[in-house]
Amino acid sequence: MSQRRRRSGNLGVIAPAEPAPELRLWEALNLALDREMAQDDAVFVLGEDVGLYGGSYRVTQGLWARYGEWRVRDTPISEGSFTGLGVGAALVGGRPVVEIMTVNFALLALDAIINMAAKLRYMSGNRLAVPLVVRMPGGVAHQLGAQHSQRLEHCFVNVPGLRVLAPGTPQDAYWQLRQAIRDEDPIVVLEHELLYFESGPFDEQAAPPPMHAAVVRRPGRDFTLIAWHRMVQVCLEAADRLAADGIEAEVVDLRSLRPIDLPLLRESVGRTHRALVVEEDCLFGGAGAEIAAALTEAAFFDLEGPIRRVAGADVPTPYNGELEAASIPDAAAVVAAVRAALEQAGPGA
């Protein structure tokens, strides 16, 4: 683990020569950007403090020195217009990667994302392309207060024209970002603030899965837990605890929220007959509601009980640390929900 990070000079860019066995998630994103920028001059990144400073979460570290200010552009605090700048550049041949410092500020860029990026191909009668990537970290971190601790999954999954990715491991972050940059559609990449400094196995040579494919992180026969981002870790912890009682939970990392990999979910539920969607975003009207509804429609006759959701409380995130922790799902809540569901007799029981 200690020798895994190699820097070229003091630039902070991961040296291409030695593929590392393990990376932190920010490093994987950094390497993905570096690879795509080296390969295609049309790729450029912009956002607040992405250049000289190296990115709030270090994702763009070293790129400014390597590619110069025109391809790694520090912007003023103008989310609406620099995201719209990305749209304009994408229309004429650019492949911009816009970094919005956190999802909280993306609310100021929703017009550019929803009214422009997502609609331009369709409104133009399929004559324009918007190959734009907008990356943004979100989620509840550590006591940042209500205006800095939210999730916007619900905002983006309902928008025709957008694709929405939610990588949660370095390996996924690397490939999904590279695939997103090469894609012809506008793509929102949701990242999680608490995952940037998490390490995970990384193999650049391994064949990348399709950009929107889900993956089973832990197999199990009794119950399907569906999650993304940090909630996958919460589910894995819950699965460990359930295993101690002989309940084998399968944990699915969705990785993509629009589109969703329903065939994989369907297959899993075909074996387990029960499912729980675990999301950090608020319960009411969240992405989890769509997943639960779609899976219910697809797998109703395989189910032994309703698909339930464990989600963030429908409150603005409180500052107090204990209340904050209580506002989002933890392993105990997942365990409790699984137990409650198993105790509830199904129609065939």
Partner 1 sequence: MQRSLIRQFYRDMLLARQFEEAAAEQYRQGRIAGFLHLYPGEEAVAVGTLRAADPGDYVVSTYREHVHAMVRGIPPEAVMAELFGRAGGCSRGYGGSMHLFSPEHRFLGGYAIVGETFPVATGVGYWLRMTDSADAVLCYFGDGAVNQGTFHESLNMASLWKLPILFVCENNHYQIGTEIHRHSALAEVHRRACAYGMLGRRVDGMDVLAVYEASREALAQVRSGAGPFLLECETYRYRGHSMADPASYRSAIEVEELRARDPLASLWRKAEAAGWMTADERRAIEAEVTAAVDGAVAFAEQSPPPTELQAGVYARPLDLYRGAP
Interaction site with partner 1 (CB under 8 A): 44, 70-71, 73, 75-76, 78, 80-94, 96, 111-112, 115-116, 120-129, 160-161, 163, 183-185, 209-210, 212-214, 255-256, 258-264, 294, 298
For residues 76 and 246, which CB has a smaller minimum distance to partner 1 in the complex? Answer: 76
Q: How far is the CB of 284 from partner 1 (least distance, A)?
A: 21
CA-CA distances (angstroms) from residue 194 to 33, 89, 138, 140, 277? 20, 31, 9, 8, 20
Q: Do residues 74 and 45 touch, judged by C-beta distance below 8 A?
A: no
In this structure, are strands 22-24 and 95-99 parallel, antiparallel, or unpaired?
A: unpaired
Return the DSSP state at 34.
Answer: H
For residues 24 and 135, which CB has a smaller minimum distance to partner 1 in the complex? Answer: 135
96: β partners: 44
* Set 22, 148, 267, 304: catalytic member: 148
d(CA 73, CA 47): 7
Q: How far is CA 230 from the centre of its chain?
A: 9
Neighbours of 29 (CB within 10 A): 29
Q: Render 72-133 in DSSP notation, one character per residue.
A: EEE--S-HHHHHHHHHHHHHTT-EEEEE-S-HHHHGGGHIIIIIIITTHHHHTTS------E
Q: How far is the CB of 145 from partner 1 (least distance, A)?
A: 24
Q: How far is the CB of 19 from partner 1 (least distance, A)?
A: 25
- Which helix (H) or strand (E) element contains residue 172? helix 170-182
Q: How far is the CB of 325 from partner 1 (least distance, A)?
A: 31
For residues 143 and 158, which CB has a smaller minimum distance to partner 1 in the complex? Answer: 158
* Set 36, 48, 79, 324: catalytic member: 79
The crossing angle, in degrees rounded to 10, of helices 331-343 and 230-244 is: 50
CA-CA distances (angstroms) from residue 238 to 233, 247, 296? 9, 10, 23
**Nearest-5° angle of CA 190, CA 191, CA 195?**
160
For residues 122 and 319, which CB has a smaller minimum distance to partner 1 in the complex? Answer: 122
For residues 299 and 328, which CB has a smaller minimum distance to partner 1 in the complex? Answer: 299
For residues 93 and 348, which CB has a smaller minimum distance to partner 1 in the complex? Answer: 93
Is residue 79 annotated as part of the catalytic site, yes or no? yes
Neighbours of 186 (CB within 10 A): 28
Q: How far is the CB of 214 from partner 1 (least distance, A)?
A: 6
For residues 26 and 82, which CB has a smaller minimum distance to partner 1 in the complex? Answer: 82
Q: How far is the CB of 122 from partner 1 (least distance, A)?
A: 5
Q: Do residues 187 and 275 touch, judged by C-beta distance below 8 A?
A: no
Q: Do residues 229 and 190 touch, judged by C-beta distance below 8 A?
A: yes
Is residue 191 annotated as part of the catalytic site, yes or no? no
Q: How far is the CB of 271 from partner 1 (least distance, A)?
A: 18
Catalytic machinery residues? 79, 148
